Structure 1
Amino acid sequence: MAACIHPTLEQLVRLQFDTRGFSLLPRQPVHSLLSGRHASRLRGRGLIFEELRDYRPGDDIRSIDWRATARLQRAHVRVYSEERERPVLLVVDQRASMFFGSARTTKATAAAELAALAAWRTLAVGDRIGAIIFGDDETVEIRPHRSRANVLHICHELVRMNGRLSATSAPASRATFNHALRCATNLARHDHLIMLVTDYEGDDETTRALATRLAAHNDVLAVLVYDPAGIRFPVGGLMEVTDGRQRSAIPEDGPFAQAFETEFRKRCAQLRERLRALRIPILPICTHDPIPEQVLAALGGRPGV
Structure 2
Amino acid sequence: MGEAPTPVGESDPRVGVTLGHLRSLEGRARRISFLPRQPARSVLNGRHASKLRGRGLNFEELRDYLPSDDVRAIDWKVTARTGKPHIRVFTEERDRPALIVVDQRMSMFFGSVLNMKSVTAAEAAALAAFRIFDHGDRVGGIVFGDRNIAAIRPRRSRMALTGFLTALADANKLLSAETPAVEPMPLNRVLQSVARIAKRDHLVLIFSDFDGIDETTHRLVSGLPRHNDLVLGLVSDPYARALPQDLRVVVSDGELQAEIDTGEVEIHRWLADMAEGRIGEILDWRRRFGVPVLPLTRAEESVPQIRRLMGLAEGRR
TM-score (norm 2): 0.87
Match of 1:280 in 2: 291
Q: Cα distance 1:99–1:182, how it changes in 2: closer, same or farther (>3 A)?
A: same
Q: How does 1:193-208 map to 2 (within 5 A)?
A: 193-208=203-218
Instruction: Could you tell me which runs of 5 or more consecutive residues in structure 1 were left unpaired when the two chains were aligned.
Output: none
Matched, 1:154 2:177: no
Q: Cα distance 1:248–1:208, how it changes in 2: closer, same or farther (>3 A)?
A: closer
Match of 2:251 in 1: 243
Matched, 1:134 2:149: no
Q: How does 1:176-187 map to 2 (within 5 A)?
A: 177-187=187-197
Contact 1:96 1:135 survives alignment (8 Å) = yes
- 3-state SS, counterpart of residue 15 of structure 1: coil
Matched, 1:293 2:301: no
Q: Cα distance 1:83–1:301, how it changes in 2: closer, same or farther (>3 A)?
A: farther
Match of 1:27 in 2: 37
Contact 2:53 2:229 survives alignment (8 Å) = yes
**Letter paired with 1:12:** L
2: CA distance, partners of 1:260 / 1:59: 62
1: CA distance, partners of 2:270 / 2:25: 38
Q: Cα distance 1:172–1:119, how it changes in 2: closer, same or farther (>3 A)?
A: farther
Q: How does 1:9-48 map to 2 (within 5 A)?
A: 9-48=19-58
1:171 Cα deviation after fit: 6.2
2: CA distance, partners of 1:216 / 1:30: 25
**Letter paired with 1:173:** P
Q: How does 1:1-305 map to 2 (within 5 A)?
A: 4-169=14-179, 170=181, 173=184, 175=186, 177-234=187-244, 238-244=246-252, 245-251=257-263, 254-301=265-312, 303-304=316-317
| Deviations, residues 24-56 of structure 1 (Å, cap 9, x unaligned) | 111111111112434202101111111222222
Q: Cα distance 1:209–1:249, how it changes in 2: closer, same or farther (>3 A)?
A: closer
Match of 2:3 in 1: none
Contact 1:89 1:194 survives alignment (8 Å) = yes
What's the C-alpha RMSD, in Å, of the aligned pairs?
2.2
- 3-state SS, counterpart of residue 149 of structure 1: helix
2: CA distance, partners of 1:62 / 1:215: 27
Q: Cα distance 1:147–1:195, how it changes in 2: closer, same or farther (>3 A)?
A: same
2: CA distance, partners of 1:259 / 1:60: 60
| Runs of at least 4 residues off by over 4 Å | none
| Deviations, residues 96-128 of structure 1 (Å, cap 9, x unaligned) | 111111111111111111111111112212111
Which structure has greater helix proportion? 1
Contact 1:196 1:222 survives alignment (8 Å) = yes
2: CA distance, partners of 1:142 / 1:265: 33
Q: Cα distance 1:3–1:138, how it changes in 2: closer, same or farther (>3 A)?
A: closer
**Letter paired with 1:201:** D
TM-score (norm 1): 0.90
Q: Percent identical across equivalent pairs?
A: 41
1:210 Cα deviation after fit: 2.1
1:162 Cα deviation after fit: 1.1
1: CA distance, partners of 2:262 / 2:305: 32
